Amino acid sequence: MQTGYKKIVIKVGSNVIAGENNLPDETVMDELIRQMAQAKKNGTEVILVSSGAVASGRSLWQVSEKADPIARRQLLASIGQVKLINTYTRLLQPHGLICAQILVTKEDFRDRMHYLNMKRCLGTLLQNNIIPIINENDVISVTELMFTDNDELAGLISSMLGADALLILTNVDGIYDRPPKEPGASVIPVMDGTRTDFSNFISTEKSNFGRGGMITKCSIAQKLALVGIKVHIANGKTPGIISAILQNQPIGTLFVPKANQSKLKRWVANSEGYAKGYVVINEGAKNILSTSGKAISLLPVGITKIEGSFQKGDIIKITAENGQTIGVGMAQYSSIIAQTYLGEKNKKPLIHYDYLFLYD
């Protein structure tokens, strides 16, 4: 039985690519490429989000640990990205496939026009049977410009392209029901996308090369599930892992999605990190938004406070009076105008329903 996925994003972590000697393991990379080629042959579009530039750089050049950490990362990423993409290019050739390198930063997702331009580029590559290989541009991504990790980037790309599924390939078998090292620990096969107590049973330890951890992966998976995208978290070193997932075999952990959201709402849902400000709403507005089950917009009458400076088209967060973030949306006018409308009736929505996404 096949999953029927027409478009998938595959995120490969640094610890999947790296071998025991901490150098890129081409045997693993070749096996993953073989499965991607087979998926494409079966009619599935494939987008690859690959870590490994810094790890590849470490295999080429030794940098003193005393060096400035930002400069060290920039140096390793600069030389390592060349090796990484050349390796993928060489491994794809026997399958008659070519790849394109796409390096991005958070800035590429902040602006709607930038976002649409990137989406158009990726769409053109897929139409021409080219595999986009996407990575964060670690050469210029520092501090506030950095993604949490490539899991966040893969989630944004999945949402942007309307993927059927995101496959997060890591060096563990999935999400465990307790710390993996504890006796009796087992992989949770299915998550319904509403569980939030990840820290109770997931280790906060991060990978040797990457910045992320399993809690980040779960948070990204949960967010994508809310907008209708399936997420598989599985061990990328397991032989045939991609093929097994596409054949609907029970392997790893699957986050089951809710009903599909519009492409615009998918973009809004994944844009909280780019919010220019936030609004506080009263309890009445919160109850209406969360329990009505209808297409409700956020009106100024329910807003008690506005923080930050934003313009029409900017993303803003919606918070309850207790400080809890309950959603995000695209402002329909500036914060200056919003301040003049604060608490008033019969004013146009600050966030129209079409541009509003609420968390469960």
Can you tell me whether residue 210 is helix, strand or coil?
coil
- What's phi and psi for 253, nearest 5 deg? -120, 130
Q: Is 51 annotated as a binding residue?
A: yes
Rounded Cα distance, 161 and 267, in Å: 10
Q: Is 262 annotated as a binding residue?
A: no
The alpha helices in the chain, defined as continuous H runs, are: 14-17, 26-41, 53-58, 69-92, 107-110, 112-127, 150-161, 214-226, 241-246, 263-269, 283-291, 335-341
- The torsion angle over the Cα atoms of residues 182, 188, 193 and 195, rounded to 10 degrees, is -30
Rounded Cα distance, 30 and 259, in Å: 35
Q: Is 206 annotated as a binding residue?
A: no
Residue in 165, 50, 8, 34 with CA at minimum distance from that of residue 93: 34
Rounded Cα distance, 356 and 213, in Å: 29
Please check whether residue 154 is in contact with residue 11, taking contact to mean a CB–CB distance below 8 angstroms: yes
Count Cβ neighbours within 10 Å for each residue of 10-48 and write b for 16 or more, e otherwise: bbbbbbbbbeeeeebbeebbebbbbbbbbbbeeebbbbb
Q: How many CB atoms lie within 10 A of CB 355?
A: 22
> Residues, the chain, total?
360
Helix (H) or strand (E) holding 134: strand 131-136
Q: Is 11 annotated as a binding residue?
A: yes
Can you tell me whether residue 166 is helix, strand or coil?
strand
- What's phi and psi for 297, nearest 5 deg? -100, 160
Q: Which residues participate in the annotated binding site for substrate? A: 51, 138, 150
Residue list for the binding site for ATP: 11
The binding site consists of: 11, 51, 138, 150
